[in-house]
């Protein structure tokens, strides 16, 4: 593993513009459960796709909001803090790299860590919007009442998280970020969710850039990558950090 980490480190040193894809594995060390993997909250509810869907929101907004707040532990959403992995990505930026982050996470922690170019591919827990007038409301407003309503239109707000059945609106923007990059690093995602999991193919086949993945478990897309590391993310990032910032 050390040799592969070293080679990934070399690519990070050489590239000026790096695109990072992140998933749930990046946030677990901040105490945020992986909503999808075994033992995660999503997994314990077979009907999650039914409840966390655009359809359920439209037909039963009261119960939708109740379940939404439970599933995402929304009460705690403001209290989570970035961990070493978020900080590492921010550090790369401080060291002069252009770091574009495309994240599946809805917790806002990359931005909280100070990263400046973050695309929240699956939206954000931080806000909710009125489907009628488009006004956006912060989490504090959302938590104030059981079912948050728009102050102007009195219709139930819709979370700014992408629900099942919602269109993905950021895919093209994600591809544009990848087109500008010289290296792709994928962290803490099983690359299971479509169409997010098409982005590495786009990098490798359309943009011809080298790509690396660090994830605890093997993924179905591992064969796409020039460098594959199966490890606890925190451990691998700590090695990478030593390589990059202490052995100059
Ligand atoms: Zn409104």
The DSSP-derived string for 135-190 is -EEEHHHHHHSSS-B-TTT-PBPEEEEPPBTPPP--HHHHHHHHHT-SEEEEES--
The share of the chain scoring above pLDDT 90, in percent, equals: 81
Residue 157 CA, ligand 1 centroid: distance in Å: 8
Co-location of 100 and 216 in the same domain:
yes
pLDDT at site 35: 61
CA distance 245 to 176: 29
Co-location of 95 and 130 in the same domain:
no
Average pLDDT, the chain: 92
Residue 133 CA, ligand 1 centroid: distance in Å: 4
- Given the residues 55, 122, 230, 246, the one annotated as active site: 122
Residue 138 CA, ligand 1 centroid: distance in Å: 14
Residue with tokens 């513009």: 17
Co-location of 143 and 230 in the same domain:
no
pLDDT at site 248: 47
CA distance 54 to 58: 6
Co-location of 201 and 172 in the same domain:
yes
Query: What is the mean pLDDT of the segment spanning 12-23?
Result: 97
Co-location of 218 and 172 in the same domain:
yes
Boundary of a domain, candidates 161, 189, 212: 161
pLDDT at site 153: 97
**pLDDT band at residue 187 under the 50/70/90 scheme:** very high
pLDDT at site 51: 86
pLDDT at site 121: 97
Residue 145 reports pLDDT greater than 60? yes
Q: Which of 41-50, 150-159, 189-198 has the lowest average pLDDT?
A: 41-50
Angle at 147 between CA 141 and CA 148, to 5 degrees: 30
Residue 1 reports pLDDT greater than 80? no
Q: Are 211 and 200 in contact (CB under 8 A)?
A: yes
Check which CATH number belongs to the domain holding 138 and give it.
Answer: 3.30.1600.10
| Residues in the annotated binding site | 130, 133, 150, 153
C-alpha distances in angstroms, 90 versus 64, 69, 98, 241? 35, 29, 10, 12
Residue 63 CA, ligand 1 centroid: distance in Å: 20
Total count of domains within the chain = 2
Residue 136 CA, ligand 1 centroid: distance in Å: 9
Q: Which tokens hold the place of 112?
A: 């909280």
Residue 38 reports pLDDT greater than 80? no
Co-location of 191 and 108 in the same domain:
yes
Residue 48 CA, ligand 1 centroid: distance in Å: 27
Co-location of 177 and 217 in the same domain:
yes
Co-location of 174 and 223 in the same domain:
yes
Co-location of 214 and 147 in the same domain:
no
**What's the domain range around 212?**
1-32+81-122+168-248
Boundary of a domain, candidates 161, 190, 217: 161
| Residues in the annotated binding site for Zn(2+) | 130, 133, 150, 153
Check which CATH number belongs to the domain holding 19 and give it.
Answer: 3.40.50.1220
Co-location of 204 and 232 in the same domain:
yes
Instruction: Decide which of 129 and 75 is more confident.
Output: 129
Q: Which tokens hold the place of 127?
A: 């806000």
Angle at 247 between CA 89 and CA 111, to 5 degrees: 10
Boundary of a domain, candidates 161, 185, 209: 161
Instruction: Decide which of 71 and 193 is more confident.
Output: 193
CA distance 46 to 175: 32
pLDDT at site 197: 96
Co-location of 189 and 223 in the same domain:
yes
Co-location of 72 and 192 in the same domain:
no
Residue 117 known to be catalytic: no
């Amino acid at each position: 593993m050390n040799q592969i980490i070293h080679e990934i480190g070399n690519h990070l040193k050489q590239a000026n513009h790096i695109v990072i894809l992140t998933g749930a594995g990046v946030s677990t060390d901040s105490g945020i459960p992986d909503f999808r993997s075994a033992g995660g909250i999503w997994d314990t509810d077979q009907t999650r796709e039914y409840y966390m869907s655009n359809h359920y929101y439209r037909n039963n907004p009261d119960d939708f909001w109740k379940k939404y707040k439970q599933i995402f532990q929304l009460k705690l959403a403001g209290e989570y803090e970035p961990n070493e992995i978020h900080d590492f990505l921010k550090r790369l930026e401080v060291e002069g790299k252009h770091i574009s982050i495309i994240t599946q996470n809805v917790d806002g922690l990359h931005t909280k860590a100070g990263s400046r170019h973050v695309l929240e591919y699956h939206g954000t827990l931080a806000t909710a919007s009125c489907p009628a007038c488009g006004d956006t409301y912060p989490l504090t407003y959302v938590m104030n009442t059981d079912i948050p309503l728009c102050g102007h239109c009195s219709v139930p707000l819709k979370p700014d998280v992408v629900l099942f059945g919602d269109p993905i609106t950021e895919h093209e923007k994600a591809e544009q970020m990848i087109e500008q990059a010289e290296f792709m690093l994928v962290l803490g995602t099983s690359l299971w969710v479509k169409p997010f999991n098409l982005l590495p193919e786009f990098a490798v086949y359309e943009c011809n850039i080298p790509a690396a993945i660090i994830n605890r478990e093997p993924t179905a897309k591992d064969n796409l990558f020039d460098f594959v590391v199966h490890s606890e993310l925190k451990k691998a990032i700590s090695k990478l950090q030593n390589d990059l910032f202490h052995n100059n």
